[in-house]
Chains A and B, each alone.
Chain A
Amino acid sequence: MTGNVLGLGIGIAAFGVAIGLGLIGYSAMQGMARQPEAIGKLQTAMLIALAFVELVFLLVVFIVPGSVR
């Protein structure tokens, strides 16, 4: 039973993180389309942002199961 609830929780975390990643990609692509000369800088900033958002999900995956136990 706890297992199912935890799975649901991780699913919710993935949902939020997916939205966040999508937003980053969306805005970065919009920025690139508007200013193609700034693609390099935008990509760097986008990758850093992606890494940090992704980290949230990884933390959830690694820490939540242990702490709920």
Chain B
Amino acid sequence: MSQEHNEKGGAPAIVLIVIGVVLMFGGMILSDQTKEAAFIKALAEQGIPLDIGKTVATIGVFMILFPVIKSFFTNPLQEAIGQRNTDLERTFSEAESLRGQMTEMKADYERRLVETEAQAREQIQAQIREAQDLRKTLMAEATQQADSMKKRAQEEIEAERDRALTGIRLQVANLTLQATERILGENMDTDRNRRLIDEFLDQIEVPAS
């Protein structure tokens, strides 16, 4: 029955409203006309109080009501809820991206921390190695210096000893010569004598320790 009205359901709201108004007035007239109709009376006797006019008018009311409520309330509500949902989603995604950024930054920071630590360790180790090298070279130098000093001292000692020995030898030879001169009464300080004494001294000489 309502099919032909709903055929125009896709039509703009104004058509629906016009149909609704027409149906309402039609229902009013129909209600008056069918008040005494046989089938209405039969239904009423059965306990079913039906009034076709009211039904038609109701259809008209709803024809008006649907577009009105849709544009007045349901669509704004739908939009508001949708917008709020997108808002929430956007906030959530923002928070999510922020959290991602933070995680990234934290990872970066940790990575850098590890890097710095490694670098510091490396530096420390390098320093230690350098110090050890330095120590080794210093030690070597010192040892070398000490060795050279020792050698020089030994050389000096030997030279001194040689000089002393030579001096003593000279002294002894001189003394011997003087003694012999005095004994012999003549100057024996000749080259030949001296050589003789040297030879003698060489023979009696103890090894210089």
Contacts and interface: CB of A to CB of B under 8 A. Distances in A.
Is there any pair of Cβ atoms, one from A and one from B, under 8 angstroms apart in the complex?
yes
Interface of A: 61-63, 65-66, 69
A63 B47 CA distance: 9
A69 B43 CA distance: 13
A69 B46 CA distance: 9
A69 B47 CA distance: 12
A57 to B, nearest CB: 14
Interface residues of B, number: 5
Contacts of B45: 66, 69
A61 B47 CA distance: 9
Main secondary structure of the interface of B (DSSP, over half): loop
Contacts of A69: 45-46
Contacts of A61: 47
A65 B47 CA distance: 8
11 contacts: A61-B47, A62-B46, A62-B48, A63-B46, A65-B46, A65-B47, A66-B45, A66-B46, A66-B47, A66-B48, A69-B46
Contacts of B42: 66
Contacts of A66: 42, 45-48
Contacts of B46: 62-63, 65-66, 69
Interface string B40-75: 001001111000000000000000000000000000
A38 to B, nearest CB: 26
A63 B45 CA distance: 11
Contacts of A65: 46-47
Nearest to A64: B46
A1 to B, nearest CB: 19
A11 B35 CA distance: 33
A66 B42 CA distance: 9
Nearest to B42: A66
Contacts of A62: 46-48
Given A61-B47, A63-B46, 8 more contacts: A62-B47, A62-B48, A65-B46, A66-B45, A66-B47, A66-B48, A69-B45, A69-B46
